[in-house]
Amino acid sequence: MTQLALVIDLNVCVGCHACVTSCKEWNTSGQAGPMSDFDPYGADPTGTFFNRVQTFEVGEFPNTETVHFPKSCLHCEEPPCVPVCPTGASYKRAEDGIVLVDYDKCIGCKYCSWACPYGAREIDEKQKVMKKCTLCVDRIYDTTLAERDRKPACVLACPTSARLFGDVHDPESEVSVAIRESGGYPLMPEWGTQPANHYLPRRKTKLRIHEDELVRADNPLKVDGKLPKPAKAEPSLDDVTSW
Amino acid sequence: MSVPTPSVQEVKKTTCYMCACRCGIRVHLVDGQVRYIDGNPDHPLNQGVICAKGSSGIMKQYSPARLTRPLLRKQGSERGAGEFEAISWEQAFSILSERLAKIRATDPKKFALFTGRDQMQALTGLFARQFGTPNYAAHGGFCSVNMAAGMIYTIGGSFWEFGGPDLDRAKLFVMIGTAEDHHSNPLKIAISKFKRNGGRFVSINPVRTGYSAIADEWVPIRPGTDGALLLAIIHEIIAQGLYDRDFLVRYTNAGQLVNLDEKSDEFGMFLRTEVPEEEGCFDPQNKLWWDRASNKAVITHTEGCDPFLLGEFTLSDGTPVKPSFQLLADRVKDYTSEWAEGLTGIPAATIKRLAYEMGVTARDQKIELPIAWTDSWGKEHDTVTGNPVAFHAMRGLAAHSNGFHTIRALAILMSLLGTIDRPGGFRHKAPFPRPIPPCAKTPNTPLAVQPNHPLDGMALGWPAEPDDLFVDEDGKPVRIDKAFSWEYPLSVHGLMHNVITNAWRGDPYRIDTLLIFMANMAWNSTMNTAEVRKMLNDKVSDKDEQGEYKIPFIVVCDAFQSEMTAFADLVLPDTTYLERHDVMSMLDRPISEFDGPVDSVRIPVLPPTGECKPFQEVLIELGTRLKLPVFVKKDGTRKYRDYPDFVTNYETEPGSGIGFLAGWRGKGGEKFMRGEPNPRQWEMYAANNCVYHHELPRSYQYMRNWNQGYLEWSQRSRITRYAEPILIHLYSEVLQKFRLAAQGKGITRKPPEHLKQRIETYFDPLPFYFDPLEVQATDTHKYPLAAVTQRPMAMYHSWDSQNAWLRQIHAHNYLFINARTARLAGIADDDWIWVESQWGKVRCMARHSEAVEPGTVWTWNAIGKAAGAWNLTPDANESKLGFLLNHVISEELPEGAGRISNSDPVTGQAAWYDVRVRISKVSPGETAQTSLPQFAPLNPIPGRKSARAFGRT
Amino acid sequence: MHPAFSVIFLTTLIGVGQGLFLALFTVESYAAFDLLPKQDGRFYAFGSALALGFLVAGLIASFFHLGHPERAWRSAAKWRTSWLSREVIVLPAFMGMVFLYGAAHFTGYNPTLATLPSAVPVRLTLLLGVAGTVLAFALFVCTGMIYACLRFLQEWHTPLTVINYTLLGGASGFLLATALAALAAPEVTRFYAGWTMILALLALVGRTASLLRNARLKPKSTLRTAIGVKHPRIVQKAQGAMGGSFNTREFFHGRSAALLRQVKWIFLLLVFPLPVGLLASGVGMDSPIVMLIAFAVQYLGLLAERWFFFAQANHPQNLYYQAVS
Ligand SMILES: Nc1nc2c(c(=O)[nH]1)N[C@H]1C(S)=C(S)[C@@H](COP(=O)(O)OP(=O)(O)OC[C@H]3O[C@@H](n4cnc5c(=O)[nH]c(N)nc54)[C@H](O)[C@@H]3O)O[C@H]1N2
Ligand SMILES: Nc1nc2c(c(=O)[nH]1)N[C@H]1C(S)=C(S)[C@@H](COP(=O)(O)OP(=O)(O)OC[C@H]3O[C@@H](n4cnc5c(=O)[nH]c(N)nc54)[C@H](O)[C@@H]3O)O[C@H]1N2
Ligand code: SF4
Ligand code: SF4
Ligand code: SF4
Ligand code: SF4
Ligand code: SF4
Ligand SMILES: [Mo]
């Protein structure tokens, strides 16, 4: 069975928000839209977004890590948001595991959002229905798009390719390999929601320099006759013994 | 009943201009309305990706803050109040052409044209020159001219659009003082690939955000001290013998002998054998080495000779000499890591380790590409070698008054490591490398400015010696911004940040009309903003309410209701990037790749909104009406129908075959770089993703400073005039020439008395460390903290607050303070605080952070706004909670009895990041709810849409 | 959580309705076994009408919670999985039953359908009452479970939630019934008063238990698990939106901790000692007015209790929404 998902690589995410506005742009103009904004030019502008990028500071100066953290619906394999929905508007597709909301059925009771520990759902204050990331279901199967474009808007936008898209149930897929080989992990595993989306942690490259690498035989200082030499006047054994 | 028409879907390609990066985009339209903008996968720059701003282009296009009609300040209304009446374009043109014609016929320099974040200096520069005014510059002077000048005067190329780190092959990447550069998407693409390939990424920055966040190592540094760090690293590299000797010998002036005869007029200059036959704008190959084998002076690059890099020698005529590398070694001798630790706050051990990492990686992880090439001295090489240490640096270095020397130090470090135009190091982008310095020169006399005559020379250029300065007989500046004067001799991009203050003060003279294009000089691109706003509407006589303004006429061409438009007498509504033709030209800043020149265009995907008119069309029209030679035929009639027509048919000189666009030239589009105008050139760009990309043969892609094949190709393509090698200037004779003049030596012009000391100090041929000028003039006990800004990735300067989506991400700003520093000052997270410099103060909110060096505070740049600007409601977060740091930065520093620009003394680069501040919690009685200063809300202007109605749809 | 008034009113109002019905039927069943004096049908009819009134008011309040009330009918669809859906089914069923029960009493149409071995006649109202009782309890369970089933809302995820909804609803209903009895069926006033006090006491125990439990709760989710970075010191700097979002409006009460504490003491006072005291003196003084005041006080307290119930619940999503910059 297929479970489509995003894998987000925190090792390269620079927090640019490209995934945020490209998502908004695609979805507000498309089937999942509009994604309304309120007071867009006034005090406290606010609106519906399916994806947000947050920033966390880890540790204390100078050992600080700044973590940029994009978050959208994780398309949980055991999505707590689905069974609680009284209307069936929230559902998980059997064929690809995408969790969706049927706007025509949704009564806007917000109960599903309470049931999502990740805060991944947002009610659209204008349409009064619950909205969330659709994994761009209206792109990924659209055969009128070029093969290359059949990916979520945020994935195509992301300048650092921090967002991978694929089937986490296919062990050979790019996303599965990334999860397996780069330490991919789910968020809040304690709730057993089994998010399909995974995150890849920071990985550090270090360099070790051996001492002898600093005094090599081909040191150019030899050529220029300037290998560090002690001054002639400095004390030596000649000053203390005659053998 | 009408039959519903099926919606028409179209995809059009053009070039983004939500920022200066210029990515290729696809604009998806439904029934002529933009619905979706994504990256063009076939574009070389962004390869399909797009950023937060680019994806929000729709909201810019449909923003209610757009100007839609030409506006004239209402009779009797105050400048700055923003009271306008809409007028027709015909009225606007006749007002302008009448006024400008008068100025041109009398004193052309009374017209000043300064342009901000535009990318059309090819046209604006041409217009100004044709008009005859020297008072033209783009924004480079307040942006990053130090980066351009420091690098170009050293290696003949620079970061920015002119070159960059080859992260495809680098193993170690050191990024210094960069938050979000012009090369926005490409750099992100490259860094992530680099990291995925296991490269090691070190970021040197007082703040850890953005790119620095994903660095393998963050090296927090105290602002303004990078010079110390880099010099200490150079010290370690030399002390350990980690420099690339072969590279230095052959490709730099390291081995060239410097005259150390203090009595000589040539003191500090390279020794030369004979005067070469051909003089020109290049580095003649007539300097000397001290040959190791024969132990005597020989001409550089003599076959079979190898020079000493270290040592001191005496010529047969008794002249004491040293190789310039020895002088460099002498210079950095005392710049130890321990010394630098005290200034930078970086532990000496870390500095040493960084130096070793650079040196060892460069030496031991060499790349040999099987690419044969021939160097300028005819030597054939079978391979191209790379020392895979790459650097990138930007305004963290540039925006300090000691930035020029810091950047010289960086360029020298890169050269010591042997990384210039080599795989895995720094690589040039066409039209660079260029001779050091590039050939373009300004006139050097006020006589170049004549009524009804084009300027005799360029408004901007690259001085090579004091005689190239644009000053009068007394050494006084000719330009309103005092660029190319003794105050800032190498101000190669002008000093836009001083134009208003100078014009207001009438120093060096008064002007009549100031035309500002695409710059928000009443707000974020000006220092001392509150005072500058007063200067903008200051009258000649205080008593006369109706009297003339000190700057009599201000014209602003903008696309939005910015803070600046409020101060205009005449507002020209520009189109957005989706509504106009544009060129990213080889004559300005193209989008070249490492592998060869690339230029690109914008092709409108939408008709202009309202009465918006592209500024390009305005200039063509004005040029035609003013009968500027280039824009009219011999009989004075119109030569170019419109801007696209101009781009197609304009040649720099009749028959030169060089025009704004390099691609598809020649009658049928069969030529490139040079060729006759091609009437179908636009179509060909349109059919090719709006890009022309010429990939050089592999053997021309590296070592271009000294690559015979490349240099000759570049000469044939008229990118350069000369094909001489461009040796790296570890030691800068250009600087020494100015110093000699200050010392009264030689035959060149001499600086005026009061500037002699300054020139002598700062025109050091080798980099040195000094505290930024403002720091020197500050009681740092009273004002202990450095205050800097950073660009947020999701906002472009001040202009994205009108964007409904982007402003949700950055609605207002905080001052970030190291948590310990804040607690010591009794400041809690979220507290309202005062930030005070010796020049002024702002009130804002504090945010604790562990990701900032304890001696630094910072904020996101240009988020705070004036009330009512950008068609935001007066209670918008930007104006109520947000703040502009510029209020505490001064555009001038005291200098003797007078004042001098707060800029780098070499280049005139605005020293944005030198200011020192203190912070304090607002007093208990103060019930702060808003940031300060506040400004009276701007009036709504004619022709704009209603904000509320728009947003709720 | 953000306490939504629609939900506060819904849960408290139907709680009263359910409790009142249970009170009515308790007396009827006692009376059936001759343990209490028989009451006139009009007492039950009027009581049922009153209960129905509360239920309808609650239902109306609930509509304010919906973005699309016109589609409310759809919400019965997922009764297999959703407690909300179940509530949506049980509530009208219960209302229907209360109506029938009241109607039967009102019309006096109350045939004996069978007789128990002990010669107790099983009349129609008794059957309706049993059904109503089952539905009333089912409704308590559904309502409680709507909250209790949300695992990560740890403050809610306990049987105490259902128990307290039941006890508080019961207490408030019985209190109202006491006042009603004082007006229309004085013989059972003390019976009701007694049960009210017992229920109130039990509710106090239950609610205190949940307060104690919640005070000791250790959040299972932390920023460490929320973003998957193992470090004791993680601080959010930006949540990605500065003007607020659904996430900041729906899941935060937006009030100070001090106010929260105040509300807690206020409801503890208003729900338990005060009304019980008033009730006692009302009974002592034989004053229906004082009893009505006791009810009003307690209902007010219940509103505070319910506000607190929501406000105290700390949704793990809040971990992601703590700071802007
Ligand atoms: N404190 C502090 N100040 C700084 C800096 C800093 O780092 N710190 N950075 C400095 C630097 S490097 C720079 S480059 C400057 C930038 O400062 P500015 O050049 O002032 O840039 P913007 O604020 O973007 O303003 C440009 C103007 O262009 C207008 N505009 C946008 N699109 C169009 C268009 O299509 N046509 C026309 N005609 N106008 C358009 C906008 O409305 C805006 O009014 O700021 C400088 N100021
Ligand atoms: N999204 C976005 N992109 C932009 C722009 C924008 O407004 N928005 N503006 C464009 C423009 S005009 C320009 S000029 C470029 C500028 O590109 P950058 O130079 O990357 O921009 P800044 O934000 O000035 O970044 C300066 C960095 O230097 C650090 N810094 C400050 N002082 C020092 C110092 O003394 N030493 C060191 N090592 N670091 C220091 C700051 O913390 C900051 O991270 O960006 C361009 N790209
Ligand atoms: S677009 Fe990519 S790099 Fe940018 S914030 Fe989103 S995930 Fe991170
Ligand atoms: S992240 Fe939330 S909304 Fe998405 S599937 Fe999981 S529980 Fe449901
Ligand atoms: S808000 Fe809509 S999707 Fe969510 S639970 Fe209610 S009906 Fe279902
Ligand atoms: S997959 Fe689509 S809907 Fe989901 S966050 Fe990305 S762009 Fe938005
Ligand atoms: S980086 Fe600049 S040019 Fe490229 S998409 Fe973003 S805003 Fe547009
Ligand atoms: Mo800039």
* C242: nearest CB among B816, B849, B877: B877
Domain assignment of residue A100, yes or no: yes
Question: Are the CB atoms for B699 and B690 separated by under 8 Å?
Answer: no
The half-sphere exposure of B573 on its side-chain side, counting CA atoms within 13 A, is: 25
Q: Coil, helix or strand for A65?
A: strand
What phi and psi values does residue B725 have, to the nearest 5 degrees?
Answer: -65, 150
In a domain, A217, yes or no: no
What span, in angstroms and rounded, lies between the C-alpha atoms of A126 and A107?
13
Distance from CA of B253 to the nearest CA of A (A): 16
Q: What does the DSSP 8-state code read for residue C112?
A: E
Q: List the structure tokens of B33.
A: 């309305």
Nearest CA to CA, how far is B184 from chain C (Å)? 20
Are the beta carbons of A122 and C84 separated by less than 8 Å? no
Q: What is the pLDDT of residue B951?
A: 37
Handedness of CA B834, B840, B842, B848 (dihedral sign): negative
Burial class (CB in 10 A: 0-12, 13-18, 19+), B483: buried
Tell me the ligand closest to B793's alpha carbon. Answer: 2
Q: What is the pLDDT of residue A237?
A: 78
Residues A91-118: tens digit of each pLDDT: 999 999 999 999 999 999 999 999 999 9
In one-letter notation, the amino acid at residue B230 is L
Closest C-alpha among B582, B586, B560 to residue B572: B560
With contact defined as beta carbons under 8 Å apart, do A162 and A13 qualify?
yes
Q: What residues contact A107, with CB distance under 8 A and at least 6 apart? A: A86, A87, A89, C66, C67, C68, C69, C71, C72, C74, C75
Question: A73: pLDDT confidence band, cut at 50, 70 and 90?
Answer: very high
For the Cβ of A4 lying below 6 angstroms from any atom of ligand 3, the answer is no
Ligand nearest to the CA of B57: 7
Rounded Cα gap, residues C297 and B938, in angstroms: 53
Provide, as residue numbers in chain C, all residues whose Cβ is less than 8 Å from the Cβ of B809. 240-242
CATH of the domain at A121: 3.30.70.20
DSSP tag of B469: S
What are the pocket residues of ligand 1 if the criterion is a CB atom closer than 6 Å to any ligand atom? B 116-117, 139, 142-143, 517-520, 524-525, 557-560, 562, 564, 574, 576-577, 615, 789, 796-799, 861-862, 885-886, 912
Residues 174-193 of A with CB under 8 A from C: 185-191
Question: How many domains, in total, are found in chain A?
Answer: 1
| Most ligand 5 atoms within 8 A of CB, residue of A82, A84, A90 to mutate | A90
Nearest protein CA to atom 7 of ligand 5, as residue: A106
User: What is B62-104 written as a DSSP string?
Assistant: T-TTB--S-EEEPTTPPTTTT-EEE--HHHHHHHHHHHHHHHH
Question: Whose atoms come closest to the Cα of B556: which ligand?
Answer: 1
Q: What residues contact C108, with CB distance under 8 A and at least 6 apart? A: C41
The answer to the question of residue A233 being in a domain is no
Nearest to B471 by CA among B714, B750, B155, B799: B750
Min Cα–Cα distance to chain A from C90, Å: 13
Q: Which two tokens stand for residue B950?
A: 């728009």
What is the residue-wise DSSP string for A9-49?
ETTT-----HHHHHHHHHHHHSTT----EESTTSSS-EE--
**Which ligand 3 atom sits nearest the alpha carbon of residue A160?**
3
Listed residue (A93, A117, A122) closest to A106, CA to CA: A122
Contact assessment for residue B474 and residue B889, using Cβ atoms and an 8 Å cutoff: no
Sorted by where each begins, the domain ranges of chain C are 5-319
Beta-carbon separation of A44 and B952 below 8 A? no
- C5-319 under CATH 1.20.1630, yes or no: yes
Task: Judge contact between C251 and C315, C-beta under 8 A.
Answer: yes
> How far does the CA of residue C67 sit from the closest CA of chain B (Å)?
18
In chain A, % of residues over pLDDT 70: 96
- CA–CA dist C104, C102 (Å, integer): 5
| Atom of ligand 5 lying closest to residue A115 CA | 5
- Return the pLDDT at B753: 95
Which ligand is the nearest neighbour of the Cα of A159? 3
CA quadruple B816, B821, B823, B826: dihedral sign: negative
B463 prior amide bond cis, ω within 30: no
- Residue A237 placed within a domain: no
Residue recorded with tokens 């460099």: B328
Chain C: give the shortest CA distance to residue A30, in Å.
21
In this structure, the residue with its CA closest to atom 7 of ligand 6 is: A23
- The boundaries of the domain holding residue A158 are 4-200
Please give the Cα distance from B407 to B75 (Å, whole number).
50
What tokens were used for C180?
């009603």
Rounded to a whole number of angstroms, the CA Rg of chain B reads: 27
Verify cis geometry, omega within 30 degrees of 0, for the bond prior to B423: no
Sign of the CA dihedral B318, B323, B329, B334? positive
Of all atoms in ligand 3, which is nearest to the CA of residue A8?
Answer: 7
DSSP for B19-64 reads: STT--EEEEEEETTEEEEEEE-TT-TTTTT---TTGGGHHHHHT-T
Distance B282 CA to ligand 4 centre (A): 65
Query: To probe the interface with C, which of A13, A36, A39, A84 has the most C CB atoms within 10 Å?
Result: A84
Which helix or strand (DSSP H or E) is residue B314 part of? strand B313-314
CB nearest C68 (choices: A48, A71, A108): A108
Q: Both tokens of residue C91?
A: 């509530």
Which other chains touch chain C, taking contact as 3+ CB pairs less than 8 Å apart? A, B
Mutational pocket test of ligand 1: of B119, B499, B518, B578, the residue with most ligand atoms within 8 Å of the beta carbon? B518
pLDDT on residue B949: 39
Find out whether the beta carbon of A158 lies less than 6 Å from any atom of ligand 3: yes
Chain A interface includes C217 (CB < 8 A): no
| A64 in B contact zone (CB under 8 Å) | yes
Does A25 contact B199 at a Cβ distance shorter than 8 Å? no
- Chain B CB contacts of A160 under 8 Å are 188-189, 191-192
Give me the residue from B810, B813, B849 closest to C237, CB to CB.
B849
pLDDT digits (tens, 9 = 90+) for C233-252: 999 999 999 999 999 999 99
Count CB pairs under 8 A between chains B and C. Answer: 20
Rounded to the nearest angstrom, the gap between the alpha carbon of residue B680 and the centroid of all alpha carbons in its chain is 33
The answer to whether the beta carbons of residues A187 and A57 sit under 8 Å apart is no
**Atom 2, ligand 4: which residue's CA is nearest?**
A116
Classified as helix, coil or strand, A223 is helix
- pTM for the complete prediction? 0.96
B698 CB burial (10 A radius; 0-12, 13-18, 19+): middle
Cis status, amide bond into B590, omega within 30 of 0: no
Closest-approaching ligand to the CA atom of B526? 1
pLDDT tens digits, A156-207:
999 999 999 999 999 999 999 999 999 999 999 999 999 999 999 999 999 9
CA-wise closest residue to A84 among A69, A106, A67 = A106
Q: Is B360 touching A (CB cutoff 8 A)?
A: yes
Interface of A with B in 121-150 (CB under 8 A): 148-149
Tell me, using a 6 A CB cutoff, whether residue A130 lines ligand 5.
Answer: yes
Which chain C residues contact residue A24 at CB under 8 A? none
Residue among B915, B746, B699, B619 nearest B264 (CA) = B746
Supply the DSSP symbol for B271.
Answer: P
| Rounded-to-integer distance, Cα B690 and Cα B686, Å | 5
B451 touches chain A (CB under 8 A): no
Which structure tokens are listed for B431? 């039209």
Low-confidence stretches of chain B (pLDDT < 70) are: 1-6, 275-278, 543-546, 945-953
Tell how far the Cα of C217 is from the centroid of ligand 7, in angstroms. 48
Beta-bridge mates of residue B692: B599
Please state the three-class secondary structure of B196-262 as a single string: HCCCEEEEECCECCHHHHCCCEEECCCCCCHHHHHHHHHHHHHHCCCCCHHHHHHHECCCCEEECCC
Q: Which two tokens stand for residue A132?
A: 């969330």
CB contact under 8 A, A12 and B192: yes
Q: Buried (b) or exposed (e) across B760-776, using 16+ Cβ within 10 A?
A: bebbbbbbbbbbbbbbe
First to last CA, chain B: 27
Q: Using a CB-CB distance cutoff of 8 angstroms, which residues of chain C are in contact with residue B812?
A: 242
Q: Is B853 on the interface with A (CB under 8 A)?
A: yes
Q: Assess A80–C contact: CB distance below 8 Å, yes or no.
A: yes
Does residue B867 contact residue B221 with C-beta atoms inside 8 Å? no
CB within 8 Å: A15 and B818: no
The DSSP bridge pattern shows strands A4-9 and B916-921 to be unpaired
Name the residue type at position B250.
R
One pLDDT digit (tens) per residue for chain C, 325 residues: 999 999 999 999 999 999 999 999 999 999 998 899 999 999 999 999 999 999 999 999 999 999 999 999 999 999 999 999 999 999 999 999 999 999 999 999 999 988 888 888 899 999 999 999 999 999 999 999 999 999 999 999 999 999 999 999 999 999 999 999 999 999 999 999 999 999 999 999 999 999 999 999 999 999 999 999 999 999 999 999 999 999 999 999 989 999 999 999 999 999 999 999 999 999 999 999 999 999 999 999 999 999 999 999 999 999 999 999 9
Q: Which chains touch B (3 or more CB pairs under 8 A)?
A: A, C
Q: How far apart are CA C55 and CA C58, in angstroms?
A: 5
Mapped onto helix, strand or coil, the DSSP state of residue B448 is helix
Task: State the distance from the centre of ligand 6 to the C-alpha of A142, rounded, in angstroms.
Answer: 15
